[in-house]
Structure formats: structure tokens, C-alpha cells
Amino acid sequence: MTLLATYYVPGLHVEDRSIKVPLDWSGHEPGHGFEGDAINLFYRVVTAPEHVHDDLPLLVFLQGGPGGCGPRPLSPDSDGWIAEAVRHFRVVLPDQRGTGRSSRVDTHVMRAMDGAEGAAFLKHFLADSIIRDFEHLRRTEFRGARWTTLGQSYGGFLTLTYLSLFPQGVVASFTTGGIPHVPADATEVYRHTFPRMARKTAQFYERYPVDGDRAAAVADILASRKVTLPNGDPLTVERFQCLGSDFGMKPSFERVHWILDQAFLDGDGSAAADATLSDEFLWSVMDATASRPLYWPLQEFIYANGELGEPIRWAAQRVRDEHPEFDAAHRPLNFTGEAMFPWMFEQEGALRPFKPAMDALMEDTRFGRIYDAEQLARNEVPLQAAVYYDDMYVDSGLQLDTLSRIGRSHYWTTNEFEHDGVHGSVVFRHLFDEALNRGDLEELF
């Protein structure tokens, strides 16, 4: 382990650390030495100042995404669960491989590879490798001490991978809005989510009726003439519809409403097909729809579990083609949420270098094993899940179906929160108290 820095942010003591892990875990066992290409795994250890010298148990945060790096806290309350967690734990915040400061993957890396090389490379950034990194970290840098996991969104997917591969390393697990369906199937997921996207759009227009006309006028403008975003990407109707990717969070309706509020140059809010789109609007749309480097490229492959019966072949686009209400010419215009499409890798500068690899991956059928249904059925690690009933991204019915087949699993179903509920102060505290009162944390407290 290399200790890179020690410092304080208001209310938190922080250590920046890094270790080496193999790019390819094939033939290697976490906790042991390895040969071959290595990458950096960066992580932070965060504690309350009054507990810096205390031997508290460990909580490792499994970040959402895919392709998401660990939180960068401004204070204990800037990400609500942290304030509660540091009362009881030393909190470990890893940057998943390829993100943040962990050998980041972006256009600079992908431009140097052809399709086959890029596809093989990107396979190393999925759940089986991520969890082996974390288990290696636990065994080598924390002397094998068992830890508790908290998985948000895709972090819940990672949780089930951890419980499938290395359950002996985990005392207890918490998940928030992130239990995948097992068996995993990307097409099944999108057949559940596209109707929810349409319902979310309808709710948005019910709250802000004026935005129905504004969105239609913007779409008419984009369909009739070429519009370019400040970074040079074309602004198409399809990219404009991606503003709905935020609709599963709070206060996303308000964020999109204020973007549309400044859409037109004349400033009176009129929605006319011959209007001029304002610079402020174009900057806002660009920022709101900007692609994180690994988020879209890995999006559908988080459902690839072992040997597939058939290639994924752009599952979201295939399902979208079954729903004419998402056509660019349909009115009211429907927004899309957390779905990747082939056009992204042609239109967006941040994604174009990934296109050769994506074309190869979409025809591939061999991936790492990320879930073991039999192991999950006999699971003995206490699992407490927050299931958000109206979750736009991860279907609550599919979550509950999976949980019904996982040993020692418990769930709390609520519609009080959207997908990002963990970032407040309530959700993690509720899950922690439930586990504590049930005796699931007796080993620690």
C-alpha cells in the first residue's frame, strides 16, 4: 500500500491510498502476488476526527454506475449516509478500476486500440474484476478483517457478485436501489423500464404543462436544422430526449424544467419552431447529457453473466424500437432514461473512440461469471435492502423476486424516495438500525 496523502475536509479525516492489482485476474487469487500487467486501485479511508485513532470496524462503499468513482465528500453531510456511517465505521471509498484515480479509462486509452483489443480490455472493468480488486484490498491492506458493504444502485449488483464469489469476506451487506434480477437479462430489464420512462415523462408534463409545448418546439427545431453543442457534438432529438436520464432522481423534474425555461433566445418562453435556441440552453443540455467515459460503454454488459445464449446486440435500442411513442416525431415528446443507444457512439466525441470495441462486444457471448444463484440461495451473510417502489432504473418487482431467492435477505420497500435516496440522512440509518436490532451486526458492536 502507498499512502499518498493525509488531510482533513470539514468534519472528516481522510487518507488517500493506492495499491496495484492485476489488469486481468485470470489465474490469480486475491490476496496473493501476481504477474503481468498491473493497474492502480485508488481508495480513501474516511473517519470522524474523534475516531482517527480508534479501531473501528470497516464499511466499504460500492459505488453506483457502472463507471462511477467513489464519493468526494465536502463534509459528513454532503453525502448524507456518510455522517451516519462514520459514527460507527472507518469508511473505505474505492474508485472502481478505470474511474477517478484508479487507472482511468477514457478516450485517450481507447483511441490506441482496435475493436478486438478494446473489447477484450473493457471486459476487465466489469463486476467480476471489480470485486476481486476489493477482496484483494481487504486481504492485503486490512489484514483480512471482514467488512460490511454498502452498495448504491450498481453497487447493489456488485454486492451480489461479492456474495457469490467471496461471502467469507463480508460481515453484512446493505443495498439501496440496486438488487439486479437473477438470472440477468438486459432485454428483460428494458422491457420493464421503457414503460416507466413514459410514465415519468407524463408526470413531468403534469407538473409543468408549459414544458410539453417547449419540448415539442425544441424537437421540431432539432429535426428541421442542424444544431451544434458548444463541444462540437450535434444536438439531435435523440440526445435531447436523454434529459430524461435524470428523471429517477430528485429534484430532476425541476432541473429539466429550468433548462427548458431558458430554451429560447427571445426570453418570453414562447415555443415556436422558428425560434433560436439560446446559448445557455445549449450549454445546459450539453452538461446534463454529457457521457462519463465508462458509464455508457459498460451499461448493458453489467447484465452479462457468464456464457450468454445470444449476443446482447443493443438491448435498449431493440426494445425502444418496440415503442413508437419514443419516436422523435411523437407528441408529446417522451424522454428516455438510463439507456444507451448505437447513435451515441457515432455522435458524441467522448464515446466515438469506444465504437470499435462496442461493435465487437455487442456480438460477444463470453463474459465473466458475476452471479452464482446456488450460492446466493444458501447465503448466510445478512443482507438488508432498500427497495424503492417507484424506482425508474431498477424495477422493484424484479428486485423483490431476486430477494425472495437469497438466503438471509431482508428488505424495506418504500416510495418515499427516488433512486438516490441514500444521499439523504434517513435511508442508511434505517437499514443500519434494522440490522442492529435484528442482531446482524453482533460481531461488530
pLDDT at residue 69, rounded to an integer: 96
Q: How far is CA 75 from CA 70, 90, 230, 270, 303, in A?
A: 15, 15, 33, 42, 34
Q: How far apart are CA 147 and CA 334, in angstroms?
A: 43
What is the pTM assigned to this prediction? 0.97
User: What integer pLDDT is reported at residue 271 of this predicted model?
Assistant: 62
Q: Which of 49, 60, 52 is nearest to 12 (CA)?
A: 49
| CA pair distance 402, 217, nearest whole angstrom | 43
Cβ-based neighbours of 194, under 8 Å, separated by 6 or more: 319, 320, 322, 323, 326, 339
Short-list 96, 27, 87, CA closest to 67: 96
Task: Enumerate the β-bridge partners of residue 92.
Answer: 45, 60
pLDDT computed for residue 291 by the predictor? 86
* C-alpha–C-alpha distance, residues 293 and 354, integer Å: 9
Distance CA 151, CA 440 (A): 17
pLDDT at 220: 95
Give the largest CA-CA distance in the chain. Answer: 67
Give the mean pLDDT per block of 10 residues along the chain (445 residues). 94 98 97 95 98 97 96 94 97 98 97 97 98 98 97 98 98 98 96 96 97 96 96 98 94 96 78 82 97 93 97 98 98 96 97 98 98 98 97 95 98 95 94 97 95
Rounded CA-CA distance 392/342 in Å is: 22
Secondary structure (DSSP) of 229-292:
-TTS-B--HHHHHGGGGGTTSTTHHHHHHHHHHT-BTTSS----TTPPBPHHHHHHHHHHTPPP
CATH number of 2-184+370-438: 3.40.50.1820
Amino acid at 211: D
3-class secondary-structure state, position 296: helix
Q: What is residue 443's predicted lDDT score, i.e. its pLDDT?
A: 94
439 torsion bin: left (phi>0), alpha (psi -120 to 50), beta (else): left
Q: With the C-alpha atoms ordered 120, 125, 130, 136, is the resulting torsion angle positive or negative?
A: positive
Q: What is the pLDDT of residue 265?
A: 86
Place of cell 415539442: 216
Provide the residue ranges of all domains of the chain, joining segments of one domain with +. Answer: 2-184+370-438, 186-361
